[in-house]
Amino acid sequence: MDHKTPIRQFLRDLLARKSDGQPFSDDSSLLISGRFDSVDAVDIVVMLEEKFNIDFAEIGFDQSMIDSVDSIDSLIRSTHAPKPCEGDAEERREQTGHVSKS
């Protein structure tokens, strides 16, 4: 599922509210580079809580988690990834022949 489009739009709107019309790419730093401040970070957090059911109190929070479109996307993917038990994962690897690079 493509999460990046709505994220991009949300971030663009947030920047527009700060009169910042400069473009950004998916890997552009927005928070650590200073384009967003902590109040904007709060808006992103609330959006992720409401739309993607992410609970930062549970998973921990670091500004770099929501620093760019890419990082937000990977955060959503990691929190919504199915968590199979060891046996299931092993079985699926055997079926697909997939070997994890990590």
Partner 1 sequence: MNVNVTMTTESPADFRESMPASFRLIPRIETFPKIVSFAQTPVGKLVLLAIFGVGLWASDIDWLPLTFALLIITFIPSKRRLLVTICTLAFIFLVPSIHGPVPLSIVITFLQVFALAAVLFWCAVRWPRSLYGRRPIIFLLCAFWVFIELGTILPRNGRAYILLWQFLFILSTYIWFIGYSLLDANSPNHDNFALQLGVYSPFWGSSNTPFPKGASYLRKIEARDAEQLAVTQLKGLKLLAWSLLIFLGLRWSNSFFHDYLRIPTFAEALKLSVQRQPLPWYGCWGGLIFSFFIGLMNISVTGHRIIACCRMAGFDALRNTYRPLSSVTVAEFFNRYYYYFRELLVEFFFYPTFLRYFKKSPQLRMAAAIFAAASFGNAFYHFTASLDFVRVYGLWRALMSFQVYFFYCVLLAAALTMSTLRQRRKVHPGFLRSRLLPATSVVLFYLLLDVFGSTEHKYSLTEHFRFFGHLFFLNL
Amino acid at 45: V
R_g of the chain, CA atoms, integer Å: 16
> Rounded to the nearest 5 degrees, what angle is found at the Cα of 13, between the Cα atoms of 8 and 14?
100
Number of continuous H segments (helices) and E segments (strands) in the chain = 5, 0
Residue closer to partner 1 (CB basis): 42 or 91: 42
Asked if 13 is part of the footprint of partner 1 (rule: CB under 8 A), the reply reads no
Residues 77-96 as x/- pattern, contact with partner 1 by CB under 8 A: --------------------
- Applying CB under 8 A, among 27, 88, 90, 91 the residue interacting with partner 1 is 27
Are 31 and 63 in contact, with CB atoms under 8 Å apart? Answer: yes
Amino acid at 16: A
Asked if 64 is part of the footprint of partner 1 (rule: CB under 8 A), the reply reads yes
- Angle of the 69-80 helix axis to the 38-52 helix axis, nearest 10: 30
Asked if 62 is part of the footprint of partner 1 (rule: CB under 8 A), the reply reads yes
Asked if 18 is part of the footprint of partner 1 (rule: CB under 8 A), the reply reads yes
Q: Which residues bind partner 1 (CB under 8 A)?
A: 15, 18-20, 22, 27-29, 32-35, 37-39, 42, 45-46, 49, 56-57, 60-62, 64, 67-68, 70-71
